[in-house]
Amino acid sequence: MLKSWHAMISPPFYRGIVGIVLGIVLLGSGMGESIHTSFLDPQKAIAQGFIKSDAWQQVYQQLPNFPRENQYISKETGKVAENNTLVSRMIKYHVYIKQRPPNYRLDWKLTLADYLGANEIMEDGSYPGNDTLRKNPIEGDRAVIKRLKLRQRDALVEALVNAFNSRVRS
């Protein structure tokens, strides 16, 4: 009896059950496949066009007083890189560096926790803007996020999720 029970709960059995349950959950939710593939694989979300260059602009439309932190000088032009903003760098960090899906609140909260020093360590050398700006903006960006009040951080997360979820529906 014990051997047959062990055989029944072997890894192939678990994989089969997990696959069935996952399929039911994903298909039964009524949401499109692209949402689920982006949840399961952030690279597919990027390839499907979820990450577009104007997402940061949508966030600033929702939060017009949010700090832009776009005073940094471009290495290439020697001029202020006005479109290299805190939110654009945050999006690049979130999606390309950490490979987190862009349409879930929890993932954005993890990214904010990175900025606050409460989750994963942020590497100076790989931070967006490090290779294109004369001064790495990581410390300034982290300082801005640390100064935000809880409700401001929540509003930022909401604006980011809204910017990306509007793309999923359209």
- Sorted by sequence, the CB contacts under 8 Å of residue 156 that are 6+ apart come out as 59, 63, 66, 108, 112, 148
Give me the chain's average pLDDT, please. 80
Sole residue written with tokens 């006005």: 82
Give pLDDT tens digits for 81-128: 999 999 999 999 999 999 999 999 999 999 999 999 999 999 999 999
The predicted pLDDT at position 51 comes to 62
Q: Is 70 exceeded by the pLDDT of residue 164?
A: yes
Residue, of 9 and 150, whose pLDDT is higher: 150
The predicted pLDDT at position 29 comes to 38
Rounded CA-CA distance 111/93 in Å is 8
The predicted pLDDT at position 53 comes to 75
Rounded CA-CA distance 65/109 in Å is 20
Residue, of 52 and 147, whose pLDDT is higher: 147
Sole residue written with tokens 């300034």: 140
Give pLDDT tens digits for 52-72: 678 999 999 999 999 999 999
The predicted pLDDT at position 24 comes to 40
The predicted pLDDT at position 145 comes to 98
Residue, of 150 and 53, whose pLDDT is higher: 150
The predicted pLDDT at position 167 comes to 53
